[in-house]
Amino acid sequence: MVRTPGKRVDDRGTAATAQISENLITLKGSTEIVTEFFSYSINTILYQRGIYPEESFKQVQKYGLNMLMTADDKLNDFFTKFLHQLSNWIVKGEVQKMVLVITGIETHEVLERWAFEVHSENGTGDSAISSKSKKEIMAEIQAIIRQITASVSFLPLLEEQCAFDLLVYTDKNSEVPALWEESDPRYIKDSAEVRLRSFSTKVHKIDAMVAYRNPEADV
């Protein structure tokens, strides 16, 4: 059978189109990637900082890493509702920042503040589409998760039992569910800050940092 030159061109074109389609990321797809990252990063912080007992977490595989996720049904239900609302705001381009705050239960003092800034890189709406390989995005997310895991090497020991809160900075005109409430920024007095790595889907970019109470401020 003779393969015509025209057929060869068609084959190459089909292969190229398939490769481009595989790397295309829509606004919805990017929102799913970002929301999933928030789910795993929140759980990683809660585990690494000892907010909940070690035995209340289960091991899963994600981003090529062994991850620990809460097995507590009530906490999972809370996360599901929180992330659903967060996703709704992200897809509309209404989220500026998501912050996890760790507070001492006895002193009510804010001890750590993990902030994740959300930037729209390619506009908003259904037209926001980018081309970036999932493998590249996963490698960037993996680097951030590794940094969170390694944070115990520089963060001060949490010497009292702690609780956490999740804050979301949204646009002023965003619709806020009835069960949500306004909050102050929960800044830390005399804080030290460490900027973590970023990741980008080319639709959204996430910049991460952690602020903590500077032990030297008490000296």
Instruction: Specify the CATH number for the domain of residue 126.
Output: 3.30.900.10
Between CA 193 and CA 170 the distance in angstroms is: 23
pLDDT recorded at residue 123: 61
pLDDT recorded at residue 5: 38
What is the count of structural domains for the chain?
1
Between CA 51 and CA 158 the distance in angstroms is: 9
Pick left, alpha or beta for residue 167 (phi over 0 → left; psi -120 to 50 → alpha; otherwise beta): beta
pLDDT recorded at residue 179: 83
Q: Which of 22-31, 37-46, 99-108, 190-199 has the lowest mean pLDDT?
A: 22-31
Q: Which of 12-26, 83-97, 122-136, 159-173 has the lowest mean pLDDT?
A: 12-26
Handedness of CA 142, 214, 191, 104 (dihedral sign): positive
pLDDT tens digits, residue range 176-190?
988 888 888 999 988
**Is it the case that residue 142 has pLDDT exceeding 70?**
yes
**Is it the case that residue 35 has pLDDT exceeding 90?**
yes
Mean pLDDT of 26-44: 97
pLDDT recorded at residue 218: 63
Q: How far is CA 58 from CA 64, 69, 113, 151, 163, in A?
A: 16, 5, 25, 20, 20
For the chain, give the mean pLDDT. 88
* Confidence tier at 135 by pLDDT (50, 70, 90): very high
CA gyration radius for the chain?
21
- Find tokens 């996430």 and name the residue: 206
Between CA 161 and CA 171 the distance in angstroms is: 33
**Is it the case that residue 199 has pLDDT exceeding 50?**
yes
Q: Which domain holds residue 183?
A: 5-218
Pick left, alpha or beta for residue 17 (phi over 0 → left; psi -120 to 50 → alpha; otherwise beta): alpha
**Is it the case that residue 19 has pLDDT exceeding 70?**
no
Q: Which helix (H) or strand (E) holds 93?
A: none
